[in-house]
Structure 1
Amino acid sequence: MKAFLVALLAAVLCAQPASSLFCYICENEHSNWNCLKSYKCKDHENFCTTTYSSAGLGKDAGHRITKKCSQDCPETNVNFGVAAFSTKCCTTSLCNFSGATSVKTSYAVMLLGIAASLVCAIRAGL
């Protein structure tokens, strides 16, 4: 029995830590379909991140997706009305599959900006 415990202890001590986090990666892509390349993260990278940004209105709106492995989790959700930026994190392999996020253009903020611009233009006599 002692020999079995010694062998088990030796096996545990010789085993290397398993770091096999895989994430989807891409840089500034227009479509999530271009972001389906998987990549084995480095040992110190514990998160898969998806960053989604959008700017503009209607047909002129532009969307960008960036996916990568990350050492930390910089979750953000910033909305400027006609522009928005969001980063989401997850910790399981290939968990950053979806390009969908909660970033939405705020129509209330856009209308407020347009109204403020009109007031400034009227006051300036334009």
Structure 2
Amino acid sequence: MKAFLLTLLVAVLCVEQAHSLVCFTCKDASSNWDCLASTTCQSDENYCVTTYFGAGIGGRSGQSISKGCASVCPSGGINIGIAAASVSCCSSFLCNTSGATSVKVSYSVLAMAILASFIYFRAGL
């Protein structure tokens, strides 16, 4: 009987540990290097989430990265040339490593907009 209870206890502990998701965490960091802390998610949190916001105009640009655990996966993104926002999620051990690298400020679109504005004002239209 004792062997059965010990086996049952080990099985329950192993099952619970298998559902423990570990994610990188940070809030409003300017770089992924500032997001190296990790946390064990709650039992109802099945996703690691990364939120990215970046903007740039002229020679100035900035970004904000937040990471953590979530119970839902709210993925999506937008890129309008001078600003970009993205929310991505994953569901494996420390999987939210990068800061949503698929969405970055597009400097070529920004340069074309500035050039078009310059031509517009120069032509006096």
Indicate the TM-score class for this superposition, using the shorter chain for normalisation: 0.7 to 0.9
> Structure 1 length as normaliser, TM-score?
0.73
Runs of 4+ displaced beyond 6 Å: none
Counterparts of 1:112 and 1:31, CA distance in 2: 27
> Separation in 2 of the partners of 1:117 and 1:44?
53
Structure 2 CA distance for aligned equivalents of residues 114 and 22 of structure 1:
46
SS at match of 1:15: helix
Paired AA for residue 11 in structure 1: L
Identity of aligned residues (%): 41
**Cα distance between partner residues in 1 of 2:104 and 2:85:** 9
Give the residue type in structure 2 aligned to 1:115: A
Partner of 2:96: 96
Give the equivalent residue in structure 2 for 1:53: 53
In the TM superposition, what is the alpha-carbon distance from 1:59 to its structure 2 partner?
3.8
Larger-Rg structure: 1
- Which ranges of structure 2 fall in alignment gaps of 5 or more residues? none
TM-score of the two chains, using structure 2 as the length reference? 0.74
CA RMSD of aligned residues (A): 3.1
Which of 8, 15, 35 does residue 11 from structure 1 map onto? Answer: 8
Residues 21 and 46 in structure 1, CA contact (< 8 A), matched pair in contact too: yes
Q: Which blocks of at least 5 consecutive residues in structure 1 are unaligned?
A: none
